[in-house]
Amino acid sequence: MLLPRQPLLRSIALVGEALAGKPARAFAFFYPEATGTYRFTDRSVTIRKHFPDSLALLTSSDMSDKPALQSKYDVVILGAGHNGLVAATYLGRAGLSVLLLEKNDYIGGAVTSQKVFPDYNAYLSRYSYLVSLFPEKIIRDLGLKLELRRRATGSFTPYVKNGEHQGLLLSNTSEETSRQSMFELTGSQAEHEQLKKLYNLPRVFAEHVWDSMLEPLVAKEEFGRRFGRDEISREAWRSLAEEPLGRAIERYLQNDLVRGLVLTDAKIGVFTNPHDPSLLQNRCFLYHLIGNKTGEWKVPVGGMGAVARELETAARKSGAEFLTNVDLRALGLNRNKHGVEFRIDGKKQTVEGRFLLVNFGRNVLARYLDDEYHPEATDEGSVFKINMLLRRLPKLKETRYPRSIATR
């Protein structure tokens, strides 16, 4: 997983080279991640109405003036996930012709809302479900109309103390609630103060690095110098970039439940431990806690599908063309042009692009390049997500907090 600088940075670099008339180059960017979509064929359109209330029904006559698939484009983007959509919009606005090819019958990759349970008219954020690492600058640049709401509850952790079911509630809106809940767990005010100090480290880290997400990559040594201006910055750099995160957790916190809670942001999806010398846990922790300098994960109103629709609309307005249900068969790469062979509706198609953006993983790309892919240990991980529909909120054994607060 790469930081979100990649789609914008490489797109801007691509635009600059294209406008300067330099030879084409192939780029690949990777980032795991939007939905009810249109599927275009030569002169007809099939509509998949994921969102009947928000999508206008189009007919083939509405698209009769849509140009047919061209044989050559300035840029061909493989994969219409959110990175591909962002890149397509910037490139289209720069005056380049852009074609996005998507294997699914919907746009947006993991940023999607879908009717997971056929018997219920409910659309769920099936994969990604919160927004944090999407830079606000991109939202402003693209004019995306998104409403992102704050979650009142940061976390709720059940535990048993003296045979009684209780819960640690950390609030995003009331520090006093968090302080009192921590006191009930530990019997002291000290752990809450120490937790605040620990969580201040990624805030300081974010102040130094977040704006660089949309800039050329900075060498680690240069970053280290940026953190040398005061003691708290040096502590943030040491704790999060130089030594295993477990040291800071154990240095700041005494309660094992609180330590474990903090570690969840360093452990989700990856095979690591607090004292892993690879610092994989540090990177995972930072991804979860530096987004837009706050690290807060917000809920998009309308689900992730709302994010996808805004991105798709922006890309289409910029002139980008889309094809879905694409079966990619082969890539031909050379210095001046890049060929893409695929099948759609059972027909073989080939297009050329001066530039090629690959919006899927290196493991998938390797198959099309006849290369072997050997992941490093730090590339391995596991994520299991369960989507559920509830008739009511679950009844908790802990009774001090209302279910609506503990499960929010």
pLDDT at residue 26, rounded to an integer: 36
CA angle 56, 59, 35 (to 5 degrees): 50
pLDDT in tens, the chain (408 residues): 333 434 444 444 444 444 444 433 333 333 333 333 333 232 223 323 333 333 322 322 233 344 589 999 999 999 999 999 999 999 999 999 999 999 999 999 999 999 999 999 999 998 999 999 999 999 999 999 999 999 999 999 999 999 999 999 999 999 999 999 999 999 999 999 999 999 999 999 999 999 999 999 999 999 999 999 999 999 999 999 999 999 999 999 999 999 999 999 999 999 999 999 999 999 999 999 999 999 999 999 999 999 999 999 999 999 999 999 999 999 998 777 799 999 999 999 999 999 999 999 899 999 998 888 888 888 888 888 888 898 888 888 988 888 888 776
pLDDT at residue 384, rounded to an integer: 85
CA angle 342, 112, 217 (to 5 degrees): 80
Q: How far apart are CA 173 and CA 283, in angstroms?
A: 27
Pairing of strands 347-358, 338-344: antiparallel
Q: How far apart are CA 14 and CA 30, in angstroms?
A: 16
From the CA atom positions of the chain, what is the Rg in Å?
24
pTM of the predicted structure, to 2 decimals = 0.81
Strands (DSSP E) along 84-239, which ranges? 98-101, 113-114, 124-125, 148-149, 153-161, 164-171
- Helices 5-19 and 82-93: crossing angle, nearest 10°? 30
- Helices 245-252 and 190-209: crossing angle, nearest 10°? 140
SS3 label, residue 109: coil
Q: How far apart are CA 31 and CA 359, in angstroms?
A: 8
pLDDT at residue 101, rounded to an integer: 97
With tokens 């509630």, the residue in question is 169
pLDDT at residue 375, rounded to an integer: 87
Q: How far apart are CA 40 and CA 263, in angstroms?
A: 46
CA distances, 12 to each of 56, 210, 213 (Å): 33, 18, 13
Q: In the beta sheet, which residues pair with residue 76?
A: 99, 356
Residue of 88, 44, 104 lying closest to 69 (CA atoms): 44
